[in-house]
Structure 1
Amino acid sequence: MNRLPLFCDVAMARRIEGMEAQLMAAAAEAACLRRADDGGFVMRVAGGVATFTEDGSPFNKIAGLGFDGVPDAAALDRIERAFADHGAPVQAEVSTLADPAVGALLAERGYRPASFENVLGLALDGVQERVAPSGIEVRVGRDEEFDAWLDVAAEGFAHPDDQGVPSHEEFPRQVLANAERDLAAAGVVHYIALCDGTVAGGGSLRIADGVAQLAGAATAPAHRRRGVQAALLSARLADAASAGCDIAVVTTQPGSKSQQNVQRRGFHLLYPRAVLVKQAPPSEAATHPDAPVADHATRTVRGPGAETPDGVRVVQYDGSRERLRPLFELAEDSSTQLDSYIEDGRVLVALRGTNAIGHLQLVATDRAGTFEIKNMAVREDLQRTGVGRRLVRCAIDLVSRESGRRLLVATAAADIGNLRFYQLRDSVCRRSNGASSPPAPATHPAPSSTASNYATGSGSTT
């Protein structure tokens, strides 16, 4: 075993924090599959990830920031709004080896330190010896032992050692159970420790890209000070070394018994993380995540937006754009491009009852009196039913009432269906307005009208 202190530079920290971000994303995605709904989210940001799964979950956080640039204000706006929509604070865990500009930016935005945690590491440079005191057996838990594993983990977390800085977090048992199931789906392996045949403790291990992440260490109070955690640590390190890992990492509370235990085993402090929290302002208190989109669509568009006999109406939307992302994605293949403009301008939403069945994003351009339809889509099963036509008419009506003289739209030059759709809309506008406008300022010819002037590019599905 290598007993020399393990030096951690920025490259190593980037590797470890990247693995942490990957784990949070995988666990949050597993939670979405388990719940079979869209109540959570995974949002990539500047090399890190922001995740939310359910109220009180340990996965509700931003992880991995500061090693791939500094997030821009628009990206943080989207993340903070997404957490606020769930009535949750934003918790960012930032390494002391991250770009200092990240911490400064978060402080400017109202994030405050809530706690700290230590990341420790051990170089795995050979075969690791399994050590277990007499009467203690450690092995990978079986599926039927999950509840027993969870019981001892919950009991251990509920009765932490008094040593060190206390954790700022507590998790209800059901939330903890959900989180551990999601971690298992994300590739985390649960280990169980038996003391004279009785479940005494548990821990977990995830192996990815040569890094062994150790977590979930807990011992029932009745079995403490008997070497349970030392045996769990030894077994996991041996398995990690056999799998070819070159480094093992563990996160502990500063000065805790857990930190003392792993340091006795040869781990060294690599870096602390600051846990920074921004509370959701009262004005952004969220509706229930399952609330209908109509709860956020508060301003009816006059004229063409009025409700029709089939129950469809068009409104201006004031809620989180992330709720509409599936519609936006129908018209935008690139998630990077979508992230760059999803918060721009205004959005009209076509509602049937309380369900969004289509949308249109309207943005102002740098030319006076000129607006652009940036992104537009109708739910696939309702395309060619007139919903897109009503959205365009509402956009034209809105632009006209604001003294707009030109409305641009981008669609792929080879997309004959979309081109025909907008050409038909344009002819309707010509007949209704009785005039035409100057030719479109684009590299491809396009029809035009007093209220609309279409150019070719990309970004709409009707």
Structure 2
Amino acid sequence: MKDDVLKVSTAQRLERSEMEYMIDRMRAIEERSGNPMGIETQYFGEAVAFYSREMPWPQFNTVKGIGSAEESYLSEIISFYRSRNRNPHIEVTPLRAEPTLFRSLARQGFFQSSFHATLYTGCKKKSASPLEKWTNDKENAEIIEINSNQFDDYAMVHCLGTGLPISGKQHIADNNRILHGRKGWKYYVAYYNNEPVGAAAAYIQGSTASLTFATTLPAYRNRGIQTLLIERRMRDAVQEGCNLIVGQAAYLSSSFRNMQRAGMQLGYTRSTWSSLMPLSGLM
């Protein structure tokens, strides 16, 4: 695979990778005893709708894989969420973008609220790329693939690095610990002078690796921690036999630039559509 030429088949793998890790993640959370997060996943044609009763954030209440073929399901998709007092975020990739779909979304009271970038790199096990030269001694940082007893460190960094209240640490730990040992999932914590300062996750499905999450504590940013976390996950993916590595980030964000520094390039930007209707008007 040549990194400078994006084929339709590769773009399809980029989209599929994001759907696959989210499906597996939500399925694992749903399988917790009693389904405490109230997870539901429903298919509408090739589109998949994710919902969580206890986690109102967009990433857990979103529609992926929708295209013009799913226009006939649009009212049903919206009803699925509004019957649960939730407005969904609907994601459309360039592969599925059609004027008729956008008009239908607008008629249903949705507007394009943002873009989000998908980046990728192809890699071969014997290439002379920076992946083979990875080192973990930069600025006294050590990257560890964690075990099930280290999720408190992971959850603490996750909360403080993303601006979530630390009171939610146990929920973050529980919802991610269940993925530990599940096929394809890997979790990492970056320690700086033995203190947890960064966290990241990856999901491997077949020959594709998805960099699903990463963050660094604000006080430790701009020290190369994220670059090390990206490179470590890349190295492990190559060793697992992957030939495609995929990540998502806000366009031109620090995460976007970190992925570029690690050799990833822009695959496409997808659009996110949000509802104009306030939740108070749904019931």
Per-residue CA deviation, residues 271-302 of structure 1 (Å, 9 max, x unaligned), is: 001111124665642xxxxxxxxxxxxxxxxx
What is residue 116 of structure 1 aligned with on the other side? 115
CA 104–177 in structure 1, closer or farther in 2 if over 3 Å, else same: farther
Q: Say which of 223, 226, 230 aligns to 1:226.
A: 223
CA contact (8 A) 1:28 1:182 kept: no
User: Does residue 28 in structure 1 map to residue 26 in structure 2?
Assistant: yes
Task: Give the Cα separation in 2 of the matches to 1:156 and 1:250.
Answer: 18
Q: Secondary structure of the residue that 1:21 maps to in structure 2?
A: helix
CA 173–61 in structure 1, closer or farther in 2 if over 3 Å, else same: farther
CA contact (8 A) 2:112 2:274 kept: yes
CA 235–259 in structure 1, closer or farther in 2 if over 3 Å, else same: same
What is residue 106 of structure 2 aligned with on the other side? 107
Task: Give the Cα separation in 2 of the matches to 1:239 and 1:40.
Answer: 30
CA contact (8 A) 2:50 2:63 kept: yes
User: Does residue 271 in structure 1 map to residue 276 in structure 2?
Assistant: no
Task: Give the Cα separation in 2 of the matches to 1:203 and 1:281.
Answer: 33
Correspondences of 1:275-294 after superposition (within 5 Å)? 275-278=272-275, 279=277, 284-285=282-283
Higher relative CO (Cα under 8 Å, sequence separation at least 6) belongs to 2
Please report the RMSD computed on the Cα atoms of aligned residues, expressed in angstroms: 2.6
Task: Give the Cα separation in 2 of the matches to 1:82 and 1:249.
Answer: 30
CA contact (8 A) 2:19 2:65 kept: yes
CA 223–45 in structure 1, closer or farther in 2 if over 3 Å, else same: same
Per-residue CA deviation, residues 21-65 of structure 1 (Å, 9 max, x unaligned), is: 222222222222215249432111232211112241422110122
| Rg comparison, structure with higher value | 1
What is residue 60 of structure 1 aligned with on the other side? 61
What is residue 176 of structure 2 aligned with on the other side? 180
What is residue 131 of structure 1 aligned with on the other side? 135
What is residue 189 of structure 1 aligned with on the other side? 186
The one-letter code matched in structure 1 to 2:176 is E
Q: Secondary structure of the residue that 1:118 maps to in structure 2?
A: strand
User: Does residue 210 in structure 1 map to residue 207 in structure 2?
Assistant: yes
Q: Secondary structure of the residue that 2:213 maps to in structure 1?
A: strand
CA contact (8 A) 1:154 1:173 kept: yes
CA 284–225 in structure 1, closer or farther in 2 if over 3 Å, else same: closer
CA 77–181 in structure 1, closer or farther in 2 if over 3 Å, else same: farther
What is residue 148 of structure 1 aligned with on the other side? 153
Tell which deviates more after alignment, 84-93 or 176-185: 176-185
CA contact (8 A) 2:209 2:242 kept: yes
Quote the offset at 1:81 in angstroms.
1.5
Q: Secondary structure of the residue that 1:34 maps to in structure 2?
A: coil
* TM-score normalised by the chain length of structure 2: 0.85
CA 33–147 in structure 1, closer or farther in 2 if over 3 Å, else same: same
CA 93–220 in structure 1, closer or farther in 2 if over 3 Å, else same: same
The one-letter code matched in structure 1 to 2:196 is V
Q: Say which of 239, 244, 247 aligns to 1:247.
A: 244
User: Does residue 200 in structure 1 map to residue 189 in structure 2?
Assistant: no
CA contact (8 A) 1:27 1:186 kept: no
Quote the offset at 1:226 in angstroms.
1.9
Q: Secondary structure of the residue that 1:231 maps to in structure 2?
A: helix
Quote the offset at 1:242 in angstroms.
0.9
CA contact (8 A) 1:30 1:186 kept: no
Quote the offset at 1:172 in angstroms.
5.9
* TM-score normalised by the chain length of structure 1: 0.54
Give the unaligned 5+ runs of structure 2: none
Per-residue CA deviation, residues 63-96 of structure 1 (Å, 9 max, x unaligned), is: 1223xx61142x2222211211221101111112
Give the unaligned 5+ runs of structure 1: 160-170, 286-462
Task: Give the Cα separation in 2 of the matches to 1:200 and 1:37.
Answer: 31
Quote the offset at 1:258 in angstroms.
0.9
Q: Say which of 77, 96, 107 aligns to 1:79.
A: 77
Q: Secondary structure of the residue that 2:56 maps to in structure 1?
A: coil
Task: Give the Cα separation in 1 of the matches to 2:266 and 2:248.
Answer: 10
Count of residues paired in the alignment = 269
Correspondences of 1:164-179 after superposition (within 5 Å)? 176-177=172-173, 179=175
Q: Secondary structure of the residue that 1:71 maps to in structure 2?
A: helix
CA contact (8 A) 1:123 1:248 kept: yes
Q: Secondary structure of the residue that 1:217 maps to in structure 2?
A: strand
